[in-house]
Structure 1
């Protein structure tokens, strides 16, 4: 028997039972319910690139975390002031190995899913967002084309005080080597000298607090993981720092381009702080005056000097030769 479809009938305008609402109608109904405070369970989120369910296994192992569902469709341009952005595969893996609890966001290319399998599993377990993005996105996120397909946002590590750095060094008269950077600020030089410092077992790097020197993403990438190995300590008062170093048995050696003692003809103190200045300007006169000795790297004379990163590698290699570990 046919339904009564008169205008005054309660059946007027009704759809047949067998007709299901369209997708658009269902979406509108969900919106109406949400506005009325009757929000239904959300539909499974989808990856904005592939249309795959976000709770489906990610290629390379693990699952996409629920936290990733809330990630913006366009990656944000900069981390918060409490975070630092690192990029480069070795730099990111080293940071994760040393301080995984600091991880806040991961961006990676599809090609890096396998290499970052452990990191992605950590993200899943702790509901940390990660996104698989294109190379152009990573270019914008890192302001570099040398990101190697991965970018991490992490909480910044707490600055290390000089006293804490010195407490971590072996006591006198055991051999110990530190670096003091007086005006060095180029991130690529900083990264390169940190890499050399890690290779030759330097106990730490000291910088004046007023310099505001920090390990940037570019420096960390060049350091290839060394930024997580070699601690960077801030000296609030340079004069007091020099007194503290002398009290711990350290001698200070200022590295100068000329008129210093030839490196290879000089017996280096076993407890030594090598002081290095910025390229061009060099180190400050007060630091040169405070040094116990001055060192010059001999060369052909064709150029005035090596850059600071190359100088560090040469100086550390000679120290290692004279005072091998053990």
Structure 2
């Protein structure tokens, strides 16, 4: 897999997952020094050739070849919370198929202290270079898992004492008046469609983010970030 973008490639270098990078001619010298300080071998090419190589101009002048990103397991996420001695915070995604939204949610989840993200196999964007770039390196630190059946996983989490809250713009319950202490799963649905009926029914409660503007809903990744902040700010 071709990984591109400065933060994702730097994180992969620091992890030892890659040892050689390709830079576009004209990249600023300070960034070149930062790359060389990792011990990586540097190859040079034109920016146009990088555009053609990755099929986008959004590579920020750096590309590297890495093994495909690997899915974690749900158990990896549960173990992560246990090892840290923290109550679980996991983000469940119901139908997020846009890779940029997916990557942005992973980034917010890592930054705000969640223990992992879970998607349903057939209803998610794949772990791709676009996801990795948008996540800005967070895929190197946060477990991202798949499940075959999201409603069934919700049942399993609830049996383990996890409270499950779904985000819904029409919900009566305000996130600011919701008790997010204890083990927690936050469910984010697809833009436009929202949460599927069965997923909604499995949640312990539906919560909304108060808005003041005339636009009725937030971008899924923005909503996830706000919900995560509210849920984790007192932890």
TM more than 0.5: yes
Q: Secondary structure of the residue that 1:295 maps to in structure 2? A: strand
Structure 1: stretches of 5+ with no match in the other structure: 1-83, 124-129
1:114 matched to 2:33? The reply is: yes
Q: Deviations over 1:222-241 (max 9, x none)?
A: 22111212210111233442
Deviation at 1:243, TM superposition (A): 3.0
Q: Is the 8 A contact 2:115 2:143 kept in 1?
A: yes
Quick one: distance in 2 between partners of 1:256 and 1:95?
Answer: 36
The match for 1:248 is 160
Task: Give the counterpart of 1:284 among 196, 202, 212.
Answer: 196
1:92 matched to 2:9? The reply is: yes
Residue correspondence of structure 1 range 12-161 to structure 2 within 5 A: 84-98=1-15, 100=16, 102-103=17-18, 106-110=21-25, 111=27, 112-119=31-38, 121-123=39-41, 131-161=43-73
The match for 1:65 is none
1:165 matched to 2:77? The reply is: yes
Residue correspondence of structure 1 range 265-276 to structure 2 within 5 A: 265-276=177-188
TM-score, reference length from structure 2:
0.89
Quick one: distance in 1 between partners of 2:110 and 2:150?
Answer: 24
Quick one: distance in 1 between partners of 2:118 and 2:35?
Answer: 33
Q: Deviations over 1:130-171 (max 9, x none)?
A: 531111111112222121110111111432121232222228
Quick one: distance in 2 between partners of 1:226 and 1:205?
Answer: 11
Q: Choose between structure 1 and 2 for higher RCO, CA contacts under 8 A separated by at least 6 residues.
A: 2
Deviation at 1:105, TM superposition (A): 5.6
Q: Is the 8 A contact 2:106 2:135 kept in 1?
A: yes
Query: Are residues 231 and 261 of structure 1, via their aligned partners in 2, closer, same or farther at CA, if it must alter by over 3 Å?
Result: same
The match for 2:220 is 308
Deviation at 1:115, TM superposition (A): 2.7
Q: Deviations over 1:188-238 (max 9, x none)?
A: 112222221121111000011223532322222222111212210111233
Quick one: distance in 2 between partners of 1:104 and 1:153?
Answer: 9
Q: Secondary structure of the residue that 2:131 maps to in structure 1? A: helix
Quick one: distance in 1 between partners of 2:227 and 2:152?
Answer: 26
Deviation at 1:272, TM superposition (A): 0.8
Query: Are residues 248 and 97 of structure 1, via their aligned partners in 2, closer, same or farther at CA, if it must alter by over 3 Å?
Result: farther
Query: Are residues 284 and 309 of structure 1, via their aligned partners in 2, closer, same or farther at CA, if it must alter by over 3 Å?
Result: same
Q: Deviations over 1:270-299 (max 9, x none)?
A: 211100011111121110010001001111
The match for 1:209 is 121
The match for 2:175 is 263
RMSD: 2.2
Structure 2: stretches of 5+ with no match in the other structure: none
